[in-house]
Structure 1
């Protein structure tokens, strides 16, 4: 019996996928759990589904030997210790494409609102002021949008922006094929100097930490707008407030923060709170009904394919083995240390137990190798015990 635990109000579409595949032992939680409660809840789980607030570190994963795979029902996977998961034979799956449109639409909407100074006007009307003036309000048409990070979301933002008449520039550390009339900038500084609106779509990590700092903000056009719907660590928030207070930037929209509340009851602590020309949203770039339904389906389908056939296509931390039609009486999933002679060792162990390999596929990634073997012969507890006990083995599971 496969036990599945889902946290953080994952869309019901995920449950539908699991149940259609014959998995009905599913426990759901509306939110993340504190570390000790999380450990207890996952003690006998085979699959876990999380979003951004549930953190699975190496120490926790070490206490969960039964856990076979992790599904991040979102784009980001930085809430999981990917290396620790890999070294324990646990593939991690995410949904890199399913909320692309939702994020792109929100970014374009925020750009238009800030260009028209709608947040400020809205606030003043709510406080009784009829501030009917065109001063500082501009059309999006003819303005330049600068996209930092031209991946799935960034390129989609560019496509939408061109549809409303914006000129699109982008900067990426990798060479990317432009869509539409978008043009690449060789440096970030070049993009910042030319853009009326700058939107960020880069991954988190040390390489992007505070890439928009005081120096980068000073390089932006006077009166420009900054939008961040990527990762909270890529913008120096104190420097951003100073740029806004000084009038160097005319507005900003921030959907992600360096430190975010753990629950709906915990308030956000940010120096941007109360600024009329700043849109603050609670990390909802991908939070639409359509995207959450798509994410639920996409990640659940990847987990089902892995648990039923061993395929790891789309895993972010694991050797990728595509779907292989079953060809034997049983299928053995073997994760091993990526050392010389590993395949020979595995084949010898199987031969010693009278198993005939009829189909086999190997992929490696860094320190581990992953082999899917279809075999003829009796694969009993003794066979699995010997395979698991060998020093080269990281993990070994049986599908039959």
Structure 2
């Protein structure tokens, strides 16, 4: 597979902090890009490969990272700049960088995970529900068949279900889980939610204290968790076995939360009717084509995969970038 195209744009500003900006920026409003070029010695390098980024890092004080780069920001990359003081990512997740090593070097790691701005971002929840609809209604399969001239003669393969009256189980009730509940309620669904860290008071949501109960009752199970040491690999074969026969599974959180082989086995056996994921494990690896999840999706119609684009809107990325810049400048003002 060919390397993605990239260009390097540098705006020298010798008396300003040196910033490497490897996140996308071409959709930024002009005033936001101008703010960066006027207040930082900034180099834009979105889509630059790892070796090029390594060349650009020395002397960098602030690294504004992409959220889904084709490399892991490891010890070697972090150590490439002795001046590095801030690593900032316009995302809630930080599994694309070695947080532990950064923090061991007293590098400030900035994200939007605890920022109020996340309540103003709707892209991930809107996309998650869209993906749910596409999965249940077999939209990608139907579109591809129509392109080949296939019409209602295959309607037995196109036939799906209504969401009205079905039960959705939300695992995690943060900002995306809450919005998913609101969308689900508007479709007339019964909503179960499990989150031991939240007191769920939404009138139309039934809070469950036992995850096993949610799995046994839900027609659709949807993951909305942060990836951490406790959730890594959490959703394994035992959880899939406890789900209803013929249930649907949605993951737009992080691929590493799920035992992907167990998911594929459940799809192959028919335990799961279908699954849809916007995330896979080891996303920083270049060889996505031979990833087991991608391979299965190429050969079967009951797994829908999208390339981690739930938050990929002009609106959400601009809001996140502005907030991260705000956090960077607050940190610089205090240190």
**Which structure has the larger Rg over C-alpha atoms?**
1
Once the two structures are superposed, residues 330-349 of structure 1 have per-residue CA deviations (whole angstroms, 9 ceiling, x without a partner) of: xxx3xxxxxxxxxxxxxxxx
Q: Provide the rounded CA distance (Å) in 2 between the counterparts of 1:228 and 1:250.
A: 15
Task: Tell me the residue number matched to 2:308.
Answer: 283
Change (3 A) 1:135 1:50: closer
Counterparts of 1:165-244 in structure 2 under 5 Å? 165-244=188-267
- 1:159 matched to 2:176? The reply is no
Q: Is the 8 A contact 2:245 2:271 kept in 1?
A: yes
Which of the pair is proportionally richer in helix? 2
Q: Provide the rounded CA distance (Å) in 1 between the counterparts of 2:238 and 2:320.
A: 37
Q: Is the 8 A contact 2:27 2:314 kept in 1?
A: no
Structure 1 stretches of 4+ with a deviation exceeding 6 A read none
- 1:269 matched to 2:291? The reply is yes
Task: Tell me the residue number matched to 2:12.
Answer: none
Q: Is the 8 A contact 1:18 1:304 kept in 2?
A: no
The structure 2 residue matched to 1:39, chosen from 54, 60, 63, is 54
Q: Provide the rounded CA distance (Å) in 1 between the counterparts of 2:289 and 2:23.
A: 18
Once the two structures are superposed, residues 263-297 of structure 1 have per-residue CA deviations (whole angstroms, 9 ceiling, x without a partner) of: 6x963523422221221100111111111111111
TM-score of the pair, normalised by structure 2: 0.83
Q: Is the 8 A contact 1:145 1:169 kept in 2?
A: yes
Deviates more, 1:9-18 or 1:250-259: 9-18
The structure 2 residue matched to 1:259, chosen from 282, 302, 305, is 282
Change (3 A) 1:259 1:89: closer
- 1:25 positional shift: 2.0
- 1:157 positional shift: 1.1
Once the two structures are superposed, residues 68-96 of structure 1 have per-residue CA deviations (whole angstroms, 9 ceiling, x without a partner) of: 21111222112233233233332111123
Q: Is the 8 A contact 1:98 1:295 kept in 2?
A: no
Change (3 A) 1:98 1:55: farther
Task: Tell me the residue number matched to 2:5.
Answer: none
Change (3 A) 1:163 1:11: farther
- 1:23 matched to 2:8? The reply is no
TM-score of the pair, normalised by structure 1: 0.70
Q: Provide the rounded CA distance (Å) in 1 between the counterparts of 2:18 and 2:33.
A: 11
Q: Provide the rounded CA distance (Å) in 2 between the counterparts of 1:167 and 1:146.
A: 9
- 1:137 positional shift: 1.7
- 1:242 positional shift: 2.0
How many residues align? The count is: 308
Task: Tell me the residue number matched to 2:85.
Answer: 68
Counterparts of 1:213-362 in structure 2 under 5 Å? 213-260=236-283, 262=285, 267=289, 269-270=291-292, 271-274=295-298, 275-307=300-332, 309-310=333-334, 333=335
Q: Is the 8 A contact 2:256 2:281 kept in 1?
A: yes
Structure 1 unmatched ranges of 5 or more: 311-332, 334-400
Superposition RMSD in Å: 2.6
